[in-house]
Amino acid sequence: MRHILRGTLTLAAVLCFASASFASNIGNWIGSSRSWNSGDMSIVRASVIAAGNTVEADEALTAGNLSNDNVLVIGEPTSTPTAGELAALQSWVSGGGILLLFADSGNSGLPALNNIASGIGSSLSWSGSVSSIPTLAGGNFASTGPPFNIVGQALGTSPGTTVLGGTLLATDYIRYQALGSGWVFGFSDRSDHNTFNPDNTTVNGQLFLNIVGGHATSAVPEPTTLVLTALGLGGIIRRRLR
């Protein structure tokens, strides 16, 4: 009996340890002109992989592909997804996914980004231009972490297209919105670009490490669910041994 109980406690401890960090599967839409598989984003890609995450190859927007993703990157899309693709994307975000929508200076990615946002029920939109230095505000896991608290720090950027709607995260460079159990982040400019050295020693890199580690979709068990499962298993075993 002691051996069984000791094994149960060990399982609970292992699961608690596993919950301390969460590894994301990061999807990339094949309709992006520059995804995280682009050479322009090689530093941020390497950084999130080094932190234990997986960056998947560019794929189509299907329910099956999205079911394996915690985060999805759409960077400067070349076209608007179909109605069916937008429905799958909306369902995935509402179920707990994190969607990153990147514009770039020169309005690259518009109007497809506006169509994507409105097509999934988000109030985010892109219009005009912004050039001020973006300082990260609090109130969201993207800035408060884990693993890093970067509230008040300045993000490396270049002039971009103003993001409107949602909640401000870094002046008008980054805004976000909760949709169901998930999140949509709108970026004015490619703050994940190699120009800004977005690795895990810079504010840019820390921002994306926070984002990819800040939430879990229904495709992967939540850390708290794992712990409760272990504790529940222990309770069942104890009752059976009495």
Average pLDDT over the chain, rounded to an integer = 84
Tell me what the mean pLDDT of segment 167-183 comes to.
95
pLDDT of residue 233: 43
State pLDDT tens for residues 91-141. Answer: 999 999 999 999 987 778 889 999 999 999 999 999 988 888 899 999 899
Cβ contact 95:180 at 8 Å: yes
State pLDDT tens for residues 30-56. Answer: 999 999 999 999 999 999 999 999 999
**Extents of the domains making up the chain:** 23-215
Helix (H) / strand (E) element for 164: namely strand 163-164
pLDDT of residue 130: 87
CA dist 74 and 191 (Å) reads 14
Helix (H) / strand (E) element for 22: namely none
- DSSP, collapsed to helix, strand or coil, labels residue 68 as coil
pLDDT of residue 105: 75
Q: CATH number of 23-215: 3.30.1540, 3.30.70, 3.40.50, 1.20.1420?
A: 3.40.50
pTM of the model as a whole: 0.83
Is the pLDDT at 229 greater than 60? The verdict is no
